[in-house]
Chain A
């Protein structure tokens, strides 16, 4: 947990450097895996992709497979790191909570002008559901991918049934992964979500945005201010003094007042 309020800068730290590193390592290796996974289909030559500058290798299945393996080393290692590191530390913020499905529907309705958003924790209910969905897809890709790698490396005569299962599971999860990625990107198009985009690049979001939309998260921060011991070494010396909890306890009423004040700027 690294969340803290940087009152003087008007920002809130939403993600630690480590979390940013995890996200981008998985995201960038995942993108390479999507691209090289597509190149495992006979499309690069057929659709002239290999004639694009810098993509001549795309029609060579062995080369694109090697790039696929290279990216999967990062993807798999970081995914396992993520599960074990945050699992042991008890980070549960992204896991779905009771009522998330119902609340997600209400939130989606607000995107179309129906009703008002409820006050949020650090993550939106649909973000927590999406996280679970992405985790299942990535888990399926990793298990089936490791089975395929095992076959290629050690057991070329793996049973036909197991080979078919691993291959088709990998293909189906691959399609789901692309759909999930498109959904992940589509969330940025929604105006209310845009202030969160800077968070995944810099680790920080605007304090006024967080107070307005994520008041429950802000309350958690002021109730449980972060200490240097909670931080990885690289961040311990960058902590800015946390605001006084008494002064910044956010209530739902205040949150809605903040929202009204900021409405004209939207």
Chain B
């Protein structure tokens, strides 16, 4: 590992300094995380994360679980059996699992034994929702239960979600996880429509709105995760990567995200070294599939004008012919 990169303005130090100055009465304006008009972004610096050795579980994971695990309700018993496939996803009896994403575990830290340029090393990698800039999971939700907030957080409203898992199907990393037997679908036609609620990291949106940083970042003893105004974070991330001659993941993936990984090892090597499967996001290139529809979306937006132009032209053509006929008759 190379020496730690110190950005010109560290978010944590800036916050701390602001708080200290505010407490001392000097009144330096605080950074307003919740209402940043341009949105926020975060860095996960793999040169700093050490997986919290000696702890039962990494501090970020523990802090997240402490905050959110109790917010996921226990499912009804028995969980309604879905017609016709019968599939349900019940994690309520496996809440203790913290080495993958589950409805009760929004962040986990994976370990990758990698070799790059002859050097063997171990990387510890916190994984959670990437909070994409134009997230298909939110775009395509048929009930608007998933929304991209102004501050950049992509948040699922568990009061509106019916657990169709469409968000997971269109997410390049299949992040959202379903808990069957909970949520509003139980009150409609539980065997025919819906299947629970989808859960994932919400970037601690409520804390951000109170100008507090997300619980995982607040708990990280190594300062491996920071959050701040998007443009500053992007510059910070590029500076960190340049400093270690390292690699970035998250700026361009899926059309852009609000989570930027910094690594001393290329991400294709990391991808081969991490476990793969459900609840275990990859580090492969991620194309934004919704971009395939951009041309059609533009045409849809233009279609009223085409209809109006054709209608006006056609009608006036008929009217002028009628008028010509009346003139001829006279």
Chain A residue numbers with a CB within 8 Å of B207 are none
Please pick, from B39, B142, B165, B308, the residue contacting A84 in the complex, using a CB distance under 8 A.
B308
Instruction: Let me know if B164 and A41 touch, CB within 8 A.
Output: yes
Is the pair A150, B140 in contact by a Cβ cutoff of 8 Å?
no
Q: Is the CB of A227 within 8 A of B325?
A: yes
Question: In the complex, what residue of chain B is closest to A82 when comparing beta carbons?
Answer: B311
| Chain B residues within 8 Å of A77, by CB | 303-304, 306-307, 310
Tell me if A79 counts as interface (CB < 8 A to partner B).
Answer: yes
Residues of A within 8 A of B312 (CB): 84-85, 88
> When chains A and B are docked, how far (Å) is the Cα of A89 from the Cα of B318?
8
Say which residue of A18, A89, A153, A230 sits within 8 Å of B298 (CB atoms). A153
Per-position contact with B for A84-99: 1 when CB-CB < 8 Å, else 0? 1111110000000000
Residue A132 is within 8 A (CB to CB) of chain B in the complex: no
B-side contacts of A40, CB under 8 Å: 140, 142, 166
Count of chain A residues near B, Cβ 8 A: 51
Give chain B's interface residues, CB within 8 Å of chain A. Answer: 39, 82, 84-85, 133-136, 138-144, 147-150, 164-166, 169-170, 193, 289-290, 292-294, 296-301, 303-304, 306-308, 310-312, 314-316, 318-319, 321-322, 324-325
- Docked Cα-Cα span, A86 to B294, in Å, equals 32
Contact assessment for B311 and A88 in the assembled complex, using a CB-CB cutoff below 8 Å = yes
A-B contact pairs, 8 of them (CB 8 A): A18-B314, A40-B166, A65-B293, A77-B303, A156-B139, A160-B144, A166-B144, A167-B144
User: Does A168 contact B308, Cβ atoms closer than 8 Å?
Assistant: no
Q: How far is the CB of A23 from chain B (nearest CB, A)?
A: 15
- A69 surroundings in chain B (CB, below 8 A): 293, 296-297, 299-300
A80-B311 in contact (CB<8A): yes
Known: A81-B310, A84-B312, A89-B315. A76 touches B85 (CB 8 A): no
Q: A62-B289, A152-B293 are in contact. List 13 more A-B contacts (CB 8 A).
A: A41-B164, A61-B166, A73-B300, A77-B303, A77-B310, A78-B307, A82-B307, A82-B311, A85-B311, A146-B300, A152-B297, A230-B318, A232-B314
B144, B297, B300, B307: which contacts A79 (Cβ < 8 A)?
B307
Complex contacts, B169 vs chain A, CB 8 Å:
42, 61
Q: Is the CB of B301 within 8 A of A146?
A: yes
Is A163 at the interface (CB under 8 A from chain B)?
yes
Min CB distance A61 to B, Å, is 6
Closest chain B residue to A165, Cβ basis: B144
Quote the shortest CB–CB distance from B188 to chain A (angstroms).
13
- Given A69-B297, A88-B319, A171 and B303 contact (CB-CB distance below 8 Å): no
B residues in contact with A58, CB < 8 Å: none
Distance of B185 from chain A, by nearest CB (Å): 11
A88 to B166, Cβ gap below 8 A?
no
Whether A157 pairs with B39 at a CB distance below 8 angstroms is yes
Chain B contacts for A227, CB-based, 8 A? 325
A184-213 vs B, Cβ < 8 Å mask (1 yes, 0 no): 000000000000000000000000000000
Among A150, A151, A157, A232, the most chain B Cβ lie within 10 Å of the Cβ of: A157
Q: Is A240 an interface residue (CB 8 A)?
A: no
A62–B170 CB distance below 8 A: yes
- Decide: A152 near B318, CB < 8 A? Known: A62-B290, A80-B311, A229-B324: no
- Tell whether, in the assembled complex, residue B290 and residue A168 are in contact, meaning their CB atoms are under 8 Å apart: no
Which residue of A62, A85, A86, A145 is within 8 Å of B292 (Cβ)?
A62
Residues of B contacting A62 in the complex (Cβ-Cβ under 8 angstroms)? 136, 140, 170, 289-290, 292-293
Instruction: Tell me if A108 is interfacial: C-beta within 8 Å of chain B.
Output: no
A47 interface residue, CB < 8 Å from B? Answer: yes
Contact between chains at A89 and B319 (CB < 8 Å): yes
Return the chain A residue nearest B326 by Cβ.
A229
In the complex, A61→B18 CA distance in Å? Answer: 46
Within 8 A of B (CB), among A26-80: 40-42, 46-48, 61-62, 65-66, 69-70, 72-74, 76-80
Q: Give the distance in Å from the alpha carbon of A149 to the alpha carbon of B139 in the complex.
A: 9
Closest 10 CB pairs of A and B: A80-B307, A84-B311, A88-B315, A42-B164, A167-B144, A69-B296, A85-B311, A77-B307, A229-B325, A153-B297
